[in-house]
Each structure stands twice: as C-alpha cells, then as structure tokens.
Amino acid sequence: MSEELEHHARSTGGAASTATQRMHLPDIELPPNLTAGAIGIADMANAFGVTHRTLHFYEEKNLIAAGRAGLMRIYDTAQVRRMAIINACRETGMPVAVIQDLMEALSRAVSKDEANSIFLHALEVRRRELAAEQSTILRQMHRVSALIGQSAGLSGEANDNVSADDLTATELHCLALMSEGYAPTRLMRALKMEAPQVTELEAEIIRKLGAKNRFQAVAKAVLLGIIH
C-alpha cells in the first residue's frame, strides 16, 4: 500500500515534489511507528500531532507539497522528512517566516553535512532568542514579586533566607492553599484538621516567614519563590 502511495506521490506531486526528492535535509528523528514510503493525510496528521488544517496551511506556505491518490492527499518520504523539520522548529516557537527562510537555505545545500550545519545554526539562533526571552521574563517576575512584597508591607530584607526547606510538607501544602484564597474553614476540610490545629499551623507559617498575617505570609512566600 505504501509503495503504491509513494508512486502516486511522485507522479502527482509536481515540480515541488521532484525538487524536494533531490533536496539535502538534516538528520532528524522521525515519529515512531511510521510506515515506510508515502502516507495519507490522516497518518501524517496523527504522526506529528497536528490537524489537517495545519498541513494545508504548510502547503499554502510552500513548506510541504502533497500528491494525490484519487481524492486522498498523500505525502512521499521527502515530504515526511520536511514535516519532521518543520514540526521540530514549530515546537521551539520558531516563526513560520523563519522556517520558510530555513527551508529555502536547505534547498541550496549541496551536501548532508551542509544541511546539518544550516539546521544547527538556526537552532543556535533560536536558543539565543529564547535565552533573551527567559532573561526578560525572570526580570519581570522579580519585579512583580517585589511589588507584591511592597503591597503587603514587607521589606525586601526581612527573613530573606527562608526557603521551602524550612517549612514542613504540611506547611507548604497549607501555604499553597492559602495562596489560592482558602479561608480557615476550607483549610480545615482540605487538610482534615480541627480549627485549633489550622490556627496553630497558620501561626507557625507566619512566624517562620517573619510576616504579620496570612496575606503577608503568602506575599513573602511568592517573593522568595517558595510558592508560585
């Protein structure tokens, strides 16, 4: 069956399919359990965890090309390999326009080694972009935490050495529930404790965090990264 589809893909895919048959592509792992040869659109979508609409979109962007077997859209082995690269790039958040540029660069590669080099360079560029984004997000998180601490009337220095290791598992669980707005009555049910036990537990958490009340305790825990 796959050999017949492969023949249809080659014979009906047009110039784009013929060109990609000769294209050097980088080494990349294909999804498991893919049959050898050409596959139908349903198998292509299932293998890469995408929708038929996504595959149509990639075709519109000239990233992949489909052949036909009757009314069914089919993809030869070259298109499956292209899709593996495209899907990997999308998983990193690489924009479609950048992937188009990457595939265009790969189309000019004269060897497998050059194709691998082009692909690795694109991944390195994306890694640097993600590192920059991560740095920005961390700065924003620290700023948000500082503002939370200020709003709660906390100084940026009091009990800064407190960590999750200083709290018991029950205290951490209770603190997480407090951050979700659990009132003492709900804490009693969630923790399966009596009122005096919950009161004592909250008081110990507040003491360890150097706070004045439960709101400040939660704010301080967020500020120190104990809870999120």
Q: Are 45 and 52 in contact (CB under 8 A)?
A: yes
Given 3.40.50.11030, 3.40.1380.20, 3.20.20.70, 1.10.1660.10, which CATH number is that of 2-128? Answer: 1.10.1660.10
As a dihedral over the C-alpha atoms of residue 75, residue 17, residue 82, residue 70, rounded to 10 degrees, the angle is -10
Q: Are 44 and 33 in contact (CB under 8 A)?
A: no
Range(s) for CATH 1.10.10.10 in the chain?
155-223
Given 1.10.10.10, 2.40.30.260, 3.40.50.300, 1.10.287.1770, which CATH number is that of 155-223? Answer: 1.10.10.10
Alpha-carbon span 149 to 83, nearest angstrom: 48
Alpha-carbon span 179 to 110, nearest angstrom: 58
Alpha-carbon span 111 to 18, nearest angstrom: 17
pLDDT at res. 160: 61
Which residue has tokens 């009990």? 159
Q: Is 37 helix (H, G, I), strand (E, B) or coil?
A: coil
Q: Are 9 and 38 in contact (CB under 8 A)?
A: yes
Tens-place pLDDT, residues 59-81: 999 999 999 888 889 999 999 99
pLDDT at res. 21: 54
According to DSSP H, which parts of 108-191 are helical? 112-151, 169-179, 184-191
Alpha-carbon span 216 to 10, nearest angstrom: 67
Alpha-carbon span 30 to 32, nearest angstrom: 6
pLDDT lower than 70: segments of the chain: 1-22, 145, 149, 151-160
How crowded is residue 189: how many other Cβ atoms within 10 Å of its Cβ?
A: 10
pLDDT at res. 32: 86
pLDDT at res. 225: 81
In the chain, what are the helix, strand and coil shares in percent, each to the nearest 5?
65, 5, 30
Range(s) for CATH 1.10.1660.10 in the chain?
2-128
Tens-place pLDDT, residues 104-148: 999 999 999 999 999 999 999 999 999 999 888 877 877 776 777
